[in-house]
């Protein structure tokens, strides 16, 4: 179980994010994505983050929301924050994968 965010509460943040994006609720979509990305990073170990990362918030959905938010000039600050959160998530995912691969190679 992930340590924070909607996934911990048994909710489905991916579905909610998709609904927000589909209905033009871009500020809510961006805020949800940022909050969930941050919650995902806190407290979970590399194995847990890696196991749930792709199913939890698929990167194509995150990029789609980022593209939609970038089309709304009023949300430029939020767009920059979302892009930063996505980049941090990507770097952490790559580092987690490398860490786990190194651990598996030593076994």
Please give the chain's pLDDT, 107 residues, in tens: 344 454 455 678 889 999 999 999 999 999 999 998 888 777 677 777 776 665 677 889 999 999 999 999 999 999 999 999 999 988 988 888 888 888 767 76
12 contact partners, CB below 8 Å, separation of at least 6: 6
Q: What is the DSSP letter of 10?
A: T
Picking from 11, 13, 29, the residue whose alpha carbon sits closest to that of residue 21 is 29
Distances 34 to 4, 97, 100 between C-alpha atoms, Å: 13, 22, 25
Task: List, in sequence order, the alpha helices (H) in the chain.
Answer: 13-22, 26-41, 46-56, 59-70, 76-106
What is the pTM (predicted TM-score) of this model?
A: 0.78
The residue whose two tokens read 């970038």 is 70
């Amino acid at each position: 179980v992930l340590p924070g965010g909607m996934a911990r509460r048994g909710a489905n943040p991916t579905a909610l994010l998709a609904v927000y994006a589909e209905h033009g609720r871009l500020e809510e979509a961006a805020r949800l994505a940022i909050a969930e990305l941050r919650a995902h990073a806190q407290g979970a170990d590399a194995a847990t983050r890696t196991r749930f990362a792709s199913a939890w918030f698929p990167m194509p959905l995150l990029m789609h929301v980022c593209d939609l938010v970038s089309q709304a000039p009023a949300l430029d600050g939020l767009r920059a924050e979302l892009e930063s959160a996505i980049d941090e998530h990507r770097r952490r995912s790559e580092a987690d994968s490398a860490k786990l691969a190194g651990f598996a190679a030593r076994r």
